[in-house]
Amino acid sequence: MTLVVLYGQTRILFAIGRDGLLPERFAKVSPRTHTPVFNTIVVATIVGLLAGFIPLSSLWDLVSIGTLVAFIVVALAVIVLRVREPDLERGFKVPGYPVTPILSIAACIYILTGLHWTTYAWFLGWLAVVLTFYFLWSRHHSHLSPRSLGALVAGAGTLAGDPPGGQATDEPSTAQEPQK
């Protein structure tokens, strides 16, 4: 894994925590550095343990299946959003639609066919763990649940962690001055 991926994962955990899908601890940033220190420690520990105890060839396959499935989900989302929300304002439009997302899905499926069955077993096991966590915890704590969104639409306030004006960002709050 590259350093960029490790830093990226800490920001993904921060955004998911901010949305309430992970415990609040994941949405916290250091008042001194304005970085998600806890997330960095969690990611570094997990990556270190995986690298220490799982053969590299297995890790490559697990990273590949996760990435390929994520690409498929994004390509499907492009198609679904174009059909369901044709008037939605987009900052970026996929060139060659619908050919590009369809070819992306086909290419990912082709690559997935070359993975060993044990990779699928581990992936499905991990997916079961994540879905269990979602249905038992995240779904009930989400700031994006219909209950929370209803309050936001009704003008009752902003989602937790949003800056004034209700525009959510991934940037840490700058309300606190760094300690010297």
Give me the tens of pLDDT residue by residue for the chain, a chain 180 residues long.
567 778 888 999 999 899 888 999 999 999 999 999 999 999 999 989 988 998 888 888 888 999 999 999 999 999 999 999 988 888 888 889 999 999 999 999 999 999 999 999 999 999 999 899 888 888 888 887 666 555 544 544 444 444 444 444 444 444 444 444
Q: How many domains does the chain have?
A: 2
pLDDT of residue 150: 53
One domain for residues 3 and 84: no
Which residue do the tokens 């960029």 mark?
A: 4
One domain for residues 23 and 77: no
One domain for residues 124 and 138: yes
In a domain, 73, yes or no: yes
One domain for residues 142 and 59: yes
One domain for residues 18 and 75: no
Instruction: Note if the pTM is more than 0.85.
Output: no
Cβ(18)–Cβ(141) under 8 Å?
Answer: no
One domain for residues 64 and 117: yes
CA gap 4, 22 in Å, rounded: 22
One domain for residues 33 and 107: no
Question: Which domain covers residue 112, as residue numbers?
Answer: 55-146
* Alpha carbon separation from 17 to 11, 83, 100, 134 (Å, rounded): 10, 30, 32, 12
Final residue in a domain of this structure, among 33, 53, 73: 53
